[in-house]
A and B are shown apart, each in its own frame.
Chain A
Amino acid sequence: MTSRRNVLKAGAAGALALGFPAIVRAQSGAIKIGHLTPLTGFLGALGEYAVMGIKMATEEINAAGGVMGRQLDVMSEDSVNPATASIKAQRMLERDGVEFLMGEINSASAQTIMQVAARNKRLFLQIGARSDVLRGKNCNRYTFHVDIPVTVMVNAAGQALLRDGHIKGKRIFALTSDYLFGHDLAKAAKAFIAANGGTIVGDELTATDTTDFSPFLLKIRQAKPDLVATNLGGNQVTNFVKQYAEFGLPYPIAGFNLNTADAWAAGEGNLAGIWPTVWHHDLDTPGTKAFVAAFRQKYGKPPENHAWIEYVSLKIMAQAMNATKSVDTEKLIKYFESQAEFDLLKARKGYFRSWDHQLIQEAFPFTVKPKGQAKDKWDILAFGAAVPAANQPLESINPSKELNACSM
């Protein structure tokens, strides 16, 4: 009796699981794209926005007739961790027949997918990971990087800190997340601080799964610095700023990494200081205004920077495929390396630098609005003017060849 019912249940579940991919596969002639991003773990919240962004771009492109008359079929999956990311990337290329790979936020996972791309000689548009080494020491010719590298983040927040007199002649306490991205960020931050006359008085590493920062807060109080500079990732930043506000320490705080989702999660009254970002929803350009309005209508909340970057990334790929009339990796690489320009919904257009495949674009510092000025829970941030300034070359905030050598 029960066994028959169980067999039926299992059969139904199996049919459901098998049935859906079959429907997707049935779309003949679609261009298949493999998309990997963390949907669980400490970057999962950002990955959710990433999927929203790329989904919206897919729907827009397909509604307008697709690319070269073919529909786009983006398969998004949780990249989980570096090892799983690499296995899934290989499977997508080998078995699912995707033309190229896109995605990632975690620098360590991006690294393993880059290796898969190089081994298979297939394009990987690395969207959201920011570690310098990905486009420096460990670069390869099959990978292009959309998000700003950590050096740019340090420069964007650093310029604002310098202007406000927080660096020169000041004693700075650095707190760094103990993994690839954190180390990279700390290296760039320390170089910037040293070059601009600041002194590091505390330099501490913290595990990525730290949720309670109270022992570190005590050490900060003991060091009595002029500035607390954080090089943390994902959830950590939110935990840290919430507890910093809880303890009410008087030292100004800044950081070289903060995603808008983590800033929103801290909530009004908890966040303070100066931070960098690659894009924000308050940006006053027609492109951003239209994108934010459409996103709000579809999802009922403003887009986070990872939603924006995935959206423009798919548009970049669509432009490249249309221009080359091809999905072929070699032709696409050639097109990107020609330093063709792309609309990023910002004031200035961006392009991939040919020697390290980094998308060159504007970045922004931001601070926090005074209490009571926020219109809603997403309106707590005050965004500064774009860096570099309009009269300076876009490349000026990026690492130079000497600083971050890449040889393909």
Chain B
Amino acid sequence: MQFLFLLEQVVNGLVLGGYYLLIALGLSLIFSVGGVVNLAHGAFYALGAYGAVEIAKHLGFGPAVVLSPIAVALLGILFERFLLRRFYTADPILSLLVTFGLALVAEQAIRMIWGAAPLPFGMPQAFKGNVTLGEFLFSRYRLFLLAVVALVLTGIWFLMHRTSFGRVVRAGIQRPDMVAALGIRLQPYMTAIVMLGVGMAALGGALFAPITNVHPAMGAEIITVAFVVVVIGGLGSFWGVVLAALLVGVVRGITIHFVPAAGEASMYILMFLVLLLRPRGLLGERIEKFE
């Protein structure tokens, strides 16, 4: 029985890891291609949630989950074009400061527009409740969430590994100078990557809004987890981020099974161990420009 309980936590951790992945993958892509740690990533997650709440008022839940991330992705174009673009070749501390500042501005802007009080938001009645598969209990909504994540993930993998777009981006991660020498401008690709990345963060926000508190500081809550996942997974590796996100979810579940109070600390301990044994992250590639 005890073993079964533990296994249930592992399975649940995988589901949660899938959701972390939605946020972390975009962060990792932007970091890998542009060399920028986008500390404002959480702000786009929060905007995705707030956007979904607003849109759902008029059009319902389904359109909200689709339209809000698209709107935020369009905002991401402006973010890349007018802000992020200036910092790709600059001292990393500058981009850290700028995106951190933007995160603060975004949080305060949300507080000014929607107020500090959290917004109520629910899910359609059909998604409520649980399904038991064998001995395991699943929230119906989270299974839906998992399906969306799997779909998005497949799409991103296909885009990165089976299209010419992906080939250029992957080459750009390793040798931007060579890509330039071949006469390819990386800038439009970077715009697309940022758009995709913040769009995924917003999708995470919109999907998680029905089961979490929609409040101004929600972005700050998620950015730490996403950052930890990226560090554990390693830069430049698609599967590294996937592995790390699932691992963080599972380790958290197992920790809560044995030492509930240490649940939130578990991922930092995991990060510490990984950095100690593999400073480049689990599947991190050697990237010349960051060495």
How far, in whole Å, are A269 and B211 apart by their CA atoms in the complex? Answer: 12
Nearest-neighbour CB distance to chain B for A46, whole angstroms, equals 8
Contact A211 B260 (CB under 8 A): no
- Knowing A207-B264, A212-B16, A218-B8, the reply to whether A245 touches B120 (Cβ < 8 A) is no
Q: How far does the Cβ of A320 sit from chain B's closest Cβ, in whole Å?
A: 30
Residues in A with CB closer than 8 Å to B139 are 214, 243, 246-248
Complex Cα–Cα for A264 and B118 (A): 8
Known contacts: A218-B12, A247-B137, A248-B128. The answer to whether A45 contacts B117 by CB under 8 A is: yes
Given contacts A45-B116, A265-B118, A268-B120, contact A207 B261 (CB under 8 A): yes
Q: State the CA gap A265–B120 with chains docked (Å).
A: 4
Q: Is B237 an interface residue (CB 8 A)?
A: no
Contact status A239-B213, CB under 8 Å = yes
Asked if residues B120 and A216 are in contact (CB atoms below 8 Å), the reply is no
- Residues in B neighbouring A304, C-beta threshold 8 A: 117
**Is B154 part of the binding interface, using a Cβ–Cβ cutoff of 8 Å?**
no
**For B121, what are the chain A residues with a Cβ–Cβ distance below 8 Å?**
267
Binary CB contact string for chain B from 197 to 211 against chain A (1 if under 8 A, 0 otherwise) = 000000000000011
Q: Judge whether B230 is part of the interface by a CB distance below 8 angstroms.
A: no
Q: Are B217 and A44 closer than 8 Å at their CB atoms?
A: yes
Kindly supply a per-residue 1/0 record for chain B positions 108-132, scoring 1 wherever the CB is within 8 Å of any chain A CB and 0 otherwise: 0001000111111111010011100
Beta-carbon contact of B118 and A238 below 8 Å:
yes
- Verify if B191 is at the interface (C-beta below 8 Å from A): no
Q: Which residue of A lies closest to B214 (CB)?
A: A265
Tell me which of A41, A221, A235, A248 contacts B118 (CB under 8 A). Answer: A235
Residues on B with C-beta less than 8 A from A205 are: 260-261
CB-defined contacts of B264 to chain A, threshold 8 Å? 207, 209-210
- The answer, yes or no, to whether B265 is at the interface (CB within 8 Å) is yes
B221 to chain A, nearest CB (A): 6
Residues of B248-271 contacting chain A, CB below 8 A: 252-253, 256-257, 260-261, 263-265
Query: Which chain A positions have C-beta within 8 A of B265?
Result: 207
Mark out the residues of chain A between 203 and 235 whose CB falls within 8 Å of any chain B CB in the assembled complex.
204-207, 209-212, 214-216, 218-219, 221-222, 235
User: Which residues of chain B are within 8 angstroms of A98 by Cβ–Cβ distance?
Assistant: none
A250 to B225, CA, bound (A): 31
Docked complex Cα distance between A243 and B211 (Å): 5
Residues A215 and B261 in contact in the complex (CB < 8 Å), given A48-B117, A222-B5, A248-B130: no
Report B210-223 CB contacts with A as 1/0, cut-off 8 Å: 11111111000110
Offer 16 A-B interface pairs, CB within 8 angstroms, sorted by A: A44-B116, A44-B215, A45-B117, A45-B215, A178-B261, A206-B261, A215-B252, A215-B253, A215-B257, A222-B5, A222-B8, A246-B210, A248-B130, A267-B120, A269-B128, A304-B117
Of all A-B residue pairs in the complex, the 5 with the closest CB atoms, nearest first, are A267-B120, A265-B118, A248-B129, A48-B116, A215-B256
Chain A residues in the interface with B (C-beta under 8 A): 39-42, 44-45, 47-49, 178, 204-207, 209-212, 214-216, 218-219, 221-222, 235, 238-239, 242-243, 245-249, 261-262, 264-270, 304, 377
B interface residue numbers (CB < 8 A to A): 5, 8-9, 12-13, 15-16, 111, 115-123, 125, 128-130, 137, 139-142, 210-217, 221-222, 252-253, 256-257, 260-261, 263-265
